[in-house]
């Protein structure tokens, strides 16, 4: 179990540090329906992470991710592919970073977040956690690493819960600020939003490059 937790932590932290998702959470919290949209977004986020994670564990376990005390070769090849995919995403993110006083480009859908209903907020949470390419690759990599340790089904469920908790820290933090700081929250959240928006590309690129290096290293070790 300890090995599985250690294997999943880097990718879970990578999911947690998702600037656009944190910005989306802040925008929903500052909207007229903030008190319900923020928690609804968090619920959708958790459902997305757990859903993808559970599917990966089921598929990996059924396909024999663990072979006689060692990770199966196909898992190592998958990790290599995922690591290279993360490097590609990191490179694209770094190239898209704003230069100097240039304003970062934000997705058009963010402009509609303040008009979202709670069901739409929950759907956005699912989309940003489970369908966002960066997070999807990280969840698959994290759960593949858990599956290859050969732990029991019960322990895999515990590992998935731990992964979901860690992966949700980034989204939970603005919600805690919103409900915990009262009148001081909007100013702090707005400052967080501006900083995350401006530094999104660099943050994501740096995180993904480090995690990709670890995943590729693990894949090479498993294949050698």
The domain tally of the chain equals 1
Residue 63, phi then psi, degrees to nearest 5: -90, 5
Give the CA dihedral 201, 204, 206, 208, nearest 10 degrees: -140
pLDDT of residue 30: 87
pTM comes to 0.82
**Residue numbers of the domain that contains 173:** 2-63+72-223
pLDDT in tens, 33-92: 888 999 999 999 999 999 999 998 888 766 555 555 566 667 778 778 888 888 888 888
Cβ distance 123 to 44 under 8 Å? Answer: yes
Tell me what the pLDDT averaged over the chain comes to. Answer: 82
pLDDT, greater one: 197 or 48: 48
Output the six-digit token pair for 128. 């940003």
Residue 107, phi then psi, degrees to nearest 5: -60, 145
């Amino acid at each position: 179990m300890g090995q599985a937790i250690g294997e999943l932590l880097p990718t879970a932290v990578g999911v947690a540090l998702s600037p656009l998702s944190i910005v989306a959470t802040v925008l929903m919290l500052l909207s007229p329906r903030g008190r319900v949209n923020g928690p609804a977004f968090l619920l959708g986020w958790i459902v997305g992470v757990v859903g993808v994670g559970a599917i990966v564990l089921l598929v990996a376990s059924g396909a024999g991710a663990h072979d006689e005390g060692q990770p199966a070769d196909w898992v190592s090849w998958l990790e290599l592919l995922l690591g290279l995919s993360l490097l590609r995403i990191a490179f694209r993110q770094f190239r898209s970073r704003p230069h100097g006083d240039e304003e970062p480009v934000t997705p058009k859908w963010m402009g509609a977040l303040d008009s979202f209903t709670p069901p739409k907020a929950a759907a956005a949470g699912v989309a940003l956690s489970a369908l966002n390419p960066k997070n999807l690759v990280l969840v698959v990599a994290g759960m593949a690493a858990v599956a290859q340790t050969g732990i029991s089904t019960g322990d895999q469920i515990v590992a998935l819960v731990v992964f979901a908790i860690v992966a949700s820290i980034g989204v939970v933090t603005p919600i805690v600020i919103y409900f915990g700081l009262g009148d001081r929250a909007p100013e702090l959240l707005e400052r967080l939003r501006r900083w995350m928006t401006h530094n999104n590309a660099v943050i994501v690129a740096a995180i993904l490059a480090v995690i990709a290096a670890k995943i590729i290293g693990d894949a090479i070790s498993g294949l050698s």
